[in-house]
């Protein structure tokens, strides 16, 4: 580490626990510090340039400082960065998501994927009048108490009474949970390709069975697509041919700005309507912020069906190249997960070779990447993770 990084780190540890705000970006002894990004590349405070395959954990679908997105944000900001009133931008974003998802009819907005999952769970409980959420152990749904391990520090024991964790991919365990708690489960929360669990896409037959089980037991099916929405024009669930009762989005729909969204059936989300008796009160000072909504609308318009297909094809080709060179690389389309015995060492070696990955080996592609970028990423990954090196 250079003196520039060390000076920043010494300042950071004085004012932030461990010198860091986000657990997900920490690598020992401490991560480098970014200075600026442009397109597919990031430059750190030492001037070291890396191809960004982290993209702020999948959120920067068009890379850094995209001119068209920045222009939209500037125009919106010039009219006012936030209001105590709704704006046209959130209406347009909701209309866009209805059309894009194939008809998920109602939407509400917030500021992060974690907050979207919180809102989704509140909606499920408010609509059903039930408390229990069933979810798969090992899937990441943010930092809300109800979706982290019930054994995690700081999580109240009472949370265990309202959450049932089942082993990843164990559909029989889901069925047992629903049968053992009749009339008490509000929702089953799933991620169709969970990053923390290895970025392995769900089997179609398993998804079909989960859909059937939720219908049979009158349980809401909630899908977390904060990361996976980028994989199909209407979200990864469309690949499996079903429409969720509730869905949480984030990341790519914000154009690089903080964002979260919950979509769902009109009857389910009506619990939030101020036009009903006893609505769920849910504010959010910066929810549906016009700058975010304006940037996100441009980002989504640019991420057309053709752009989705092209980026997925490029990701599949890169994954195939890695697999052909003996590297365990999971995922689908524009999301790739390198499976290594020592993710931290792999991260640093990739960084030194000019590639910024996620700290768990996640590679997230952007439309800003050229063929030369992807070739360089493949070269670096093969050199770092190839046979006999990892």
The Cβ of residue 270 has, within 10 Å, a number of other Cβ atoms equal to 17
Catalytic residue among 9, 57, 89, 140: 140
Catalytic residue among 57, 191, 251, 351: 251
Task: For the chain, give percent helix, strand, coil, nearest 5.
Answer: 45, 15, 40
Q: Which one of 224, 240, 245, 303 is the catalytic residue?
A: 224
**Cα(first)–Cα(last) distance of the chain, in Å?**
23
The residue ranges of DSSP E strands in the chain, in sequence order, are 34-38, 41-44, 49-52, 106-110, 132-136, 163-166, 185-190, 220-224, 246-250, 260-264, 329-332, 335-338, 355-356, 362-364
The yes-or-no answer on residue 191 being catalytic is no
Which residue, among 336, 329, 343, has the nearest Cα to 390 in the 3D structure? 343
What phi-psi label fits residue 80: left (phi over 0), alpha (psi between -120 and 50 degrees) or beta?
Answer: left
The DSSP secondary-structure symbol of 200 reads P
Residue pair 370/318 in contact (Cβ under 8 Å)? The answer is no
Q: Is 71 a catalytic residue?
A: no
- Does residue 9 carry a catalytic annotation? no
Q: What DSSP line would sit under 271-314, residue for residue?
A: GG-TTSSSPPP---TTTT-HHHHHHHHHHHHHS-HHHHHHHHHH
Task: Please give the positions annotated as active site.
Answer: 140, 224, 251
């Amino acid at each position: 580490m250079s003196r520039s990084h060390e000076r920043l780190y010494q300042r950071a540890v004085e004012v932030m626990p461990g010198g860091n705000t986000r657990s997900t970006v920490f690598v020992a002894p401490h991560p480098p510090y970014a200075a600026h990004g442009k397109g597919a590349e990031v430059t750190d405070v030492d001037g070291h340039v890396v191809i960004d395959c982290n993209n702020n954990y999948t959120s920067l679908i068009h890379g850094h400082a995209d001119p068209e997105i920045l222009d939209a944000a500037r125009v919106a900001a010039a009219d006012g960065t936030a209001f105590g009133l709704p704006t046209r931008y959130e209406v347009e974003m909701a209309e866009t998501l209805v059309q894009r998802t194939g008809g998920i009819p109602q939407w509400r907005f917030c500021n992060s994927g974690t907050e979207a999952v919180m809102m989704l769970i509140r909606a499920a409980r408010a609509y059903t009048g039930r408390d229990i959420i069933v979810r798969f152990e090992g899937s990441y749904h943010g930092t809300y108490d109800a979706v982290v391990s019930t054994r995690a520090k700081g999580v109240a024991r009472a949370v265990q009474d309202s959450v049932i964790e089942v082993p990843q991919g164990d559909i029989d365990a889901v069925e047992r949970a629903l049968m053992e708690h009749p009339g008490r489960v509000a929702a089953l929360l799933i991620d169709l390709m969970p990053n923390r669990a290895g970025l392995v896409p769900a089997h179609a037959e398993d998804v079909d069975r989960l859909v059937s089980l939720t219908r049979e037991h009158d349980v809401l099916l909630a899908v977390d697509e904060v990361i996976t929405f980028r994989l199909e024009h209407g979200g990864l669930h469309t690949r499996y041919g079903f429409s969720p009762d509730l869905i949480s989005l984030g990341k790519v729909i914000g154009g690089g700005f903080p964002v979260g969204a919950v979509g769902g059936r009109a009857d389910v989300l009506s619990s939030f309507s101020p036009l009903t008796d006893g609505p769920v009160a849910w504010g959010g000072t910066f929810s549906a912020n016009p700058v975010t909504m304006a940037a996100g609308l441009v980002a989504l318009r640019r991420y057309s069906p053709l752009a989705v297909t092209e980026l997925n094809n490029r990701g599949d080709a890169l994954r195939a190249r890695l697999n052909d060179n003996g590297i365990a690389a999971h995922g689908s389309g524009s999301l790739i997960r390198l499976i290594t015995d020592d993710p931290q060492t792999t991260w640093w070696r990739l960084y030194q070779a000019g590639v910024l990955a996620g700290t768990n080996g996640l590679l997230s592609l952007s439309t800003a990447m050229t063929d030369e970028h992807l070739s360089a990423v493949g070269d670096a990954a093969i050199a770092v993770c190839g046979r006999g090196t990892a």
